[in-house]
Structure 1
């Protein structure tokens, strides 16, 4: 037999009552729906006033309201016997609802036991550790910058990220795992007094670390017939950095290695010794069979290239601004630069320093199977 509908007089202000009850019990719509034996959408439309509750649902909500009011009254009155039988109002309620009603007295108990009664109530337990962790890491990053005596742009350059990224981290945003590890490494360096000198930035030592190799006057070592293919270290201490990864089109617009972080769409964690190191994703078949499309090349802008090194060069606009991945050597007593390919289909290219916008040696390449 169907239940008779609830009278309109009793439903006046019911949507607000339903929302207030949920907030008082600190439960979600799905939880309240499970207590009432209805679907989540039922509670939603009921709270918005689009659906009148059935009589059994209305009676159960009234029972929950009465039990909640009794619990709130108990917060301000002494309880003579906590082991007494449950109140008739509580009988018939789901166990989850009774547990939620029991939580209503917890704020009063915490206030009585707190050493400072006027202290603000704590936030929800599941949110507090997360918020505290965010704030703690943000304070660590700000403290690290202060100890190093650097600005946000300079710290961003050391981390291989943008200045806006550092600002967001100091404001409490999540940081990626490579950046967190690098921050921890910098903290250790500061603790041992090595961070200030181990990694000089481009702007701090422009004379000692030029942004690009001196093409007009190459060192005498370039004329050697057989120089080692490995690159000398820029600094004595390697560091794990979140290197900005550039595509070939993005590299065409690069005017300084310090701007690589702003042109990158992804980052790659790698141990480097050059503070301005960045990565490029290779494309083309000029270096087959040793190098393939999608391979990452790690570039060291502050290292001068030697004969036999892999290099990436950006040609001048007069030659089309192409990006070439080749093997470096010199000719004409160092006045010309020869870029050779491993693929015999591509002949060597001889250029003058004026025909090259920038040329950086490749420290190593990394082949990613999945990316």
Structure 2
């Protein structure tokens, strides 16, 4: 009798236990990885037949809110930076001087909220900066770091614009042989990481490839750390690969860099993690069938997942100015725990040029 009652209670509880188990299992899947509470500053172009427009956007990953800060006609390589306090946006624009005189780059600063008619000019004609393509803001909001090309120079250099003095200083401005390929800034350590190489080596490799009709070999990149005032702190090491970009971790202790196997539209890209103490590096993830030509790898603010920009499988090819063909590039995130990539943000009939994770 007792045995029968136990069996009866057991069979009555079985369905309930199963339902509860399923409920807890579903709950665990849903709550396993919440969306990162990151702000992304995005520079994206909407591609049109007659003209391209550049958009400066603030995206909140947790709330999925997209805030368009400014949209204007694109006249130069689209780049900008938002000050760390969120009060100012700095961007460049080409100044067209007309026939007989070379064009040059102007730097503009916008106070938030932006009034497109109020464009305080920060860089003027005597500076003769011909190009600005990457920008970062200092931790105390007093400096804007830039990769620039000076007039009558072939090499890119690092420069800093002082917000208070309203002056620009090109670091090692008389050096015409060292090329700054890419850089990033850490607000935590207040250091700059730079990818540098010899312009003479690059020229020699190009001539060798053209003369022998072979694939272009990679140059030897030096990974160098600088202080905010341009003082060279130390050289981390050298890497002989086709490197596209580099970014510092939120704590400034290691870096991510993107490598491509070849310089053409059929390239295959990989992301590596670099130890800034030892100079050693290891692969983290690479192109997949779904996401290809990945680059701009940057850690989420918690240091666990990694944002990147990439081209989705079957992504539309957009027609821009002068019948220019542009594949739509979007922002995604990679989770090393699950080895999964998930799309985060994209623009309809547009493409991502650059983006930055705004670390606190």
TM-score (norm 1): 0.23
TM-score (norm 2): 0.24
Larger Rg: 1
